[in-house]
């Protein structure tokens, strides 16, 4: 048995015209006045697909042009593949990475007109790995965004590190750290700041 949908009906309601139109207009204007998240503005609203090419410098694993977002949705299988590449190479632990970090890398790649893979020096860090790195270096934060899956230490072959840093700073989102002696920059999805 097939259900049928009743036909659409319209009624003329005199209260709809001006009052409803004015309310809708005021709500629309109020929406324009609200601040828009910097991360929401990152990739642009015209993207139908977002993809990344990545290379993990510790494991030698790579992903070439993996589409992680399409037609308004993140793709779970692609996110799982990227999460695996971003895993803590010391403990082999995988943690879901904040998809906004991928959007940040996507935007950075577009601004640089880049087609090469980002080299991932560090993605997710387990508490044990972070503790170990803190004991070896004073430059590792106790409550690092790496622990939450919100940070990546990166470099880009063929690009000057200072240019990569400058472009990341110009995005005006998250944190950007500059480590020229270690040949990488840090990007994260935390508050906007730099060091």
Which CATH number fits the domain that encloses residue 182? 3.30.1380.10
- Is 169 inside any structural domain? yes
Higher pLDDT, 128 or 43: 128
- Is 126 inside any structural domain? yes
- Is 179 inside any structural domain? yes
* Structural domain range at position 164: 52-194
Q: How many domains does the chain have?
A: 1
**Entry pTM:** 0.76
Residue among 99, 100, 177, 104 nearest 137 (CA): 177
- Is 86 inside any structural domain? yes
Strands 193-194 and 175-179: parallel
- Is 146 inside any structural domain? yes
- What is the three-class DSSP state of 22? helix
- Is 77 inside any structural domain? yes
What mean pLDDT value characterizes the chain?
83
Strands 184-188 and 175-179: antiparallel
34-90 pLDDT tens trace: 344 455 555 554 679 999 999 999 999 999 999 999 999 999 999 999 999 999 999
Residue among 184, 116, 179, 176 nearest 151 (CA): 176
156-171 pLDDT tens trace: 999 999 999 999 999 9
Min mean pLDDT across 35-49, 88-102, 110-124 is at 35-49
User: What pLDDT, on a 0 to 100 scale, did the predictor assign at position 148?
Assistant: 97
- Is 3 inside any structural domain? no
- Is 57 inside any structural domain? yes
């Amino acid at each position: 048995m097939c259900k049928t949908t009743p036909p659409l009906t319209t009624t003329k309601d005199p209260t709809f015209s001006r009052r409803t139109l004015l309310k809708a207009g005021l709500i629309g204007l109020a929406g324009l006045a609200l601040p828009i998240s910097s991360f929401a503005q990152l990739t642009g609203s015209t993207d139908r697909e977002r993809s990344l090419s990545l290379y993990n410098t510790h494991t030698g694993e790579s992903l070439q042009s993996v589409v992680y977002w399409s037609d308004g949705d993140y793709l779970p299988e692609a996110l799982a593949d990227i999460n695996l590449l971003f895993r803590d190479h010391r403990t082999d632990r995988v943690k879901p990475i904040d998809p906004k970090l991928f959007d940040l890398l996507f935007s950075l790649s577009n601004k640089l007109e880049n087609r090469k893979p980002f080299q991932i020096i560090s993605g997710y860090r387990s508490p044990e790995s972070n503790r170990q790195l803190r004991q070896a270096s004073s430059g590792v934060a106790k409550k690092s965004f790496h622990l939450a899956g919100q940070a990546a230490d990166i470099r880009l072959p063929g690009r000057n590190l200072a240019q990569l840093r400058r472009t990341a700073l110009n995005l005006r989102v998250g944190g950007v750290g500059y480590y020229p002696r270690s040949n990488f920059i840090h990007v994260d999805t935390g508050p906007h700041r730099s060091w």
